[in-house]
Structure 1
Amino acid sequence: LYPFAEATSKENCDEALALENIDIGGPTMIRAAAKNLGWVCVAVDPNDYTNIADELKTTGKISFESRKSFSAKAFGHTAKYDTIIHNYFKSEKLSEDFSLTFTKHSDLRYGENPHQSGAAYKVSDGKDYNILNAHIRQGKKLSYNNIMDADGALACVKEFDKPACVIVKHANPCGVAIGKNILEIYSRAFKADSLSAFGGIVAFNQKCTKEVAQEITSVFVEIVLAPSFETEALEIFKKKKNLRILEIGDFSKRTSKLEVRNIDGGILVQEVDTKTLYENDLQIVTAKKPTKKNIEDALFTWKVLRHAKSNGILIAKDGATVGLGAGQVSRVDAVHMALRKGGKLVKGGVLASDAFFPFRDSIDAIKDSGISMVMQPGGSIRDQEVINACNEYGISMVFTGTRCFKH
């Protein structure tokens, strides 16, 4: 078939070139052959040629069961081709008809749990820098949970322009830090929650150095991923044979535009949350004003918090997380968890909430912690009560006007 996907993936592709690469005769012949499976064997995948030749050599013919299997593959091939064309030309992201096509990347040992089967599929024309396209420099192939956690770590570390380290455990960022020195930011990210970091996924947005590799091999982690690795770092990692090393390539921002979630009887589709907060987006609502350092930490927390499960509360200071309370059904419980995780380190820090505070109890919970600023979307009918509580305790607070739930 004409290489429509390859042609349209080029930056200089215009509509004329796209139209030129739509095959008409090819799909027609493939479908005709597939329909006549009673008499015809159709092969659309060169990987099947050997099996066909072997069957002919052994039996002198192609069995009906084989022809039926090849026919199904042929219809899938043309359906995928048409889906790629449909998605290229449709004008709306969330159109009346929604279809995606994927190609199997690999069979997985099992799914999320050992009693579930699983496989990984990739976008058919996907050439982006991501987990499925990563170069596994060391270690066994990735499991279902490895892929989920590594993708979450990659999505979070892509948020930052400054050198960053993200450590993820069970799809939540348990430690994140930014700075100038990659060894220092790894150390700060790890110390943010060293207990949870055990067995986690470590992600960098900079080349991983031998100094960092030496530190990482002193603890147990599942995966280290980065755009690239120093040769000496790879040699050091060889000491940990079960450690998986993923070289992603020169990635920038997240390339996926839509998120798809399965529900019983259908799917939910939404745009990927890529909203960026800036200082002028923050509305100061308390008598006490936040410092410049507070604002910088607040904007840092936003980039991390939207990658944590709701209800989410994140405390950060000096460009590093110090306490995360995630996945709680009660917001005040998430506050208590973040305080417990952060301990004395929360003093002088910024507390961010992924949604508004329905009551002042969360502010009452932090009154003696030394937290200097709170950031939240606002929008509760009790906003004024929450503002009053901050004023009582001498805590500054800003509203973002934007929620960042993650389910």
Structure 2
Amino acid sequence: MGKKMRALISVSDKTGIVEFAKELHSIGIEIISTGGTYAKLKEENIPAMEISELTGFPECLDGRVKTLHPVVHAGLLARRDKADHMKQLEDLKIETIDFVVVNLYPFKQTILKEDVTREEAVENIDIGGPTMLRSAAKNYQDVAVVVDPRDYEKVLSELKEKKEVSLDTKFYLMQKVFMHTSNYDTMIADYLKKERKDYDLPETLTMTFEKVQDMRYGENPHQKAAFYREVGKKIGSITDAVQLNGKELSFNNINDTNGALELLKEFTEPTIVACKHGNPCGVGSASNILEAWRKAFSADKVSIYGGIVVSNQEITLELAEEMKSVFLEVIVAPSYASDALELLQTKKNLRLLELKDIEVPQDEEAYDFKKVNGGLIVQTIDSKLYNEEELKVVTDRIPTEQEMEDLKFAFRMVKFVKSNGIAVAKNKQSIGIGPGQVNRIWSTIQCMEHAKELIDDKATVGAVLASDAFFPFDDCVEVCHQAGITAIIQPGGSIRDEDSIKKCNEYGIAMVFTGMRHFKH
């Protein structure tokens, strides 16, 4: 390896560092270290030079300044292939540093602690570490920089086999450094944004996510995919769920389950939501969870096949016995009775997820993203349903108490149906769901046809209907009358609202305007 090589080691995460340092020393690499890492190496009898001995300047300000020194950064940044760089080092009596092994103050672990103070969080913002990493990575041709303990073995194997770290590996390590420091800085910026309660959409958008798992494929087998979680305390979301049984979750499982959970969070009484391909296919609320299941299941026994079922109550043995007879991909619940779990686990491929805080609503200031070619469109999530005081009966007939309950139930459902969305309900049970049509009349007709096909010819008689956006014409009211719908809830706001109101009055149908639209594209 020629001249004596030197490694600067300063790590917060000390996983594997003792073994790695021993190997470096045995190869003949001189070790420079700082603070707690230096103490750890000395404790293990690994020869090391303290950073202050190298710089000739003591650590100061409670360790805030120790590696921020020209001797360190000149030794890292000097290009070995530039004669003038090497001559300057010689004149300044500075030696090169060939390896940097650094990971950063535990900022993430700090902000995830209960009741962490701003002062404590700020104190755990690393300054010297990222600076060294960036200096070393910029000069990747000459310096191998290791930020991830999982790369120790890769570096050692090349040193032992080739007496050097290959340029390709150094380039790989450089990439990891800038991904690591970018992630670190983004966590800090995100924490400060939340600390200031700054809910505006920022001029520049930086976010960071951590990989949970690689996936077998994406929406289709020819697409690559991975699952990432946001950094922070995100209770009540699928990233917080514990899997108790079954194969790993697929891309489509996660997407559909998330949609089902979003709808479930709209309900406080015992409720079951069944979902298929991102749309609800059966929803039921009742005084107990078993009855809620029976409502959701009987609403569409066909579409639930291979679907997702989420419950806001514990899965009991009696409920598990009924669920077991249906082919389901995923069940999510806050808990499972021990005998229920044992029974469901006999289906080895059934994915069982336990989500203790399933009822916790999403953060109202969370973002919703949609990727477009060449860009990203961002909005805050659709966290509202309607303002109770703004509900307005616009017809001569006022809904009965039961109809109003069902109207609110249906409007919760239709909020999560792909637009143009229509939902029909009766007695807190979904009767028909019409998603994703290019015009509203087709969605309305689809609802009625599905209800007749899947339940019976009279299923829609006495039911209510919800629309995610206004009726542009009175044709939907005509279809509702023919199907026996007695009440309608919709946002209102069409220039032809009066046509629909008149048609409702003609047929004795009650209509309520919410004043709040819920497109879902």
For 2:236 and 2:505, how far apart are their aligned partners in 1?
Answer: 47
What are the superposed Cα offsets for residues 367-386 of structure 1, whole Å, 9 maximum, x if unpaired? 13221110011111111110
1:298 lines up with 2:440 in the alignment: no
Report how far residue 254 of structure 1 moved: 2.1
Q: Is the 8 A contact 1:278 1:299 kept in 2?
A: no
Which residue does the alignment assign to 2:344? 237
Q: 1:219 aligns with which of 326, 330, 336?
A: 326
1:161 to 242, 254, 268: 268
CA distance in 1, matches of 2:232, 2:146: 21
Name the aligned partner's letter for residue 115 of structure 2: N
- 2:362 counterpart residue number: 254
The offset of 1:7, in angstroms, is 2.9
**Greater C-alpha Rg:** 2
Partner amino acid for 1:346? Answer: T
Distance 1:7 1:302 in 2: 42
Q: How far 1:327 sits from its partner (Å)? A: 0.5
What's the CA shift for 1:116? 1.4
Partner of 2:505 in structure 1?
A: 391
The CA RMSD over aligned residues, in Å, is: 1.7
3-state SS, counterpart of residue 499 of structure 2: helix
Partner of 2:145: helix, strand, or coil?
coil
**Deviations, residues 257-288 of structure 1 (Å, cap 9, x unaligned):** 11011001110100111113354331010000
Pair 1:207–1:58, CA change in 2 (3 A) = farther
Per the alignment, residue 380 of structure 2 pairs with 271
Match of 1:332 in 2: 441
**Residue in structure 2 matched with residue 319 of structure 1 by the alignment:** 428
Check whether the contact 1:134–1:248 (CA below 8 A) recurs between aligned residues.
yes
CA deviation map 1:166-185 (0-9, x unaligned): 00000000111112211111
Deviation at 1:130, TM superposition (A): 2.4
State the distance in 2 between where 1:87 and 1:193 align. 43
Q: Does 1:115 align with 2:222?
A: yes
2:190 pairs with one of 87, 99, 102: 87
Letter in 2 for 1:199: G
- SS of residue matched to 1:367: helix
Identity fraction in percent: 46
Letter in 1 for 2:108: A
Q: Deviations over 1:270-312 (max 9, x none)?
A: 0111113354331010000011111111221222211110000
Question: In structure 2, how many angstroms separate the alpha carbons of the residues matched to 1:140 and 1:60?
Answer: 44
Structure 1 gaps of 5+ residues are none
Q: 2:471 aligns with which of 351, 357, 371?
A: 357
**How far 1:146 moved relative to its partner?**
1.0
Unaligned runs of 5+ in 2: 1-103, 453-457
Structure 1 Cα separation of the partners of residues 390 and 234 of structure 2: 35
**Equivalence for 2:132:** 29
Moved more, 362-371 or 350-359: 362-371
Aligned partners of 1:5, 1:94: CA distance in 2, in Å?
A: 23
| Equivalent position amino acid for 2:263 in 1 | C
Does the 8 Å contact 2:423/2:447 carry over to 1? Answer: yes
Q: Which residue pairs with 1:18 in the alignment?
A: 121
Q: 2:213 maps to what in 1?
A: 106
Stretch moving more, 94-103 or 254-263:
254-263
- Report the alpha carbon displacement of residue 330 of structure 1 after superposing the two structures with TM: 1.1
Write the deviation string for residues 62-107 of structure 1: whole angstroms up to 9, x where unpaired. Answer: 2111111111101111111111122232434311111111122221
Q: Secondary structure at the match of 1:368?
A: helix
Q: CA separation of 1:372/1:10 partners in 2, compared to 1, >3 Å: closer, same or farther?
A: farther
Is 2:169 the counterpart of 1:66?
yes
Matched, 1:376 2:479: no
1:229 partner SS: coil
Report if aligned partners of 2:238, 2:254 keep a CA contact under 8 Å in 1. yes
Q: Label 1:353 to 1:75 Cα distance change in 2 as closer, same or farther (>3 A).
A: same
CA displacement at 1:5 relative to structure 2: 2.8
Of residues 184, 187, 193, the one that matches 2:291 is 184
With a CA cutoff of 8 Å and minimum separation of 6, indicate the structure with the bigger relative contact order: 1
2:306 is aligned, of 188, 191, 199, to 199
**What TM-score, normalized by structure 1, do the two folds share?**
0.96
> Does the C-alpha gap of structure 1 residues 92 and 366 become closer, same or farther in structure 2, counting only changes over 3 Å?
closer
Is the Cα contact below 8 Å between 2:411 and 2:489 reproduced in 1? Answer: no
The one of 109, 118, 136 equivalent to 2:243 is 136
- Distance in 2 (CA, whole Å) between partners of 1:21 and 1:299 is 48
Whether contact under 8 Å (2:235, 2:357) holds in the other structure is no
Distance 1:53 1:302 in 2: 61
* Counterpart code for 1:216: M
The residue type paired with residue 276 of structure 1 is L
**What is the TM-score with the length of structure 2 in the denominator?**
0.75
Give the distance between the partners of 1:116 and 1:99, measured in 2 at CA: 25
User: Quick one: distance in 2 between partners of 1:200 and 1:328?
Assistant: 21
Inter-CA distance 355–154: structure 2 relative to 1 (3 Å threshold): same
Q: Distance in 1 between matches of 2:363 and 2:333?
A: 17
Deviation, structure 1 residue 406: 0.1
Q: Which amino acid aligns with 1:85?
A: I
- Report the alpha carbon displacement of residue 47 of structure 1 after superposing the two structures with TM: 2.1
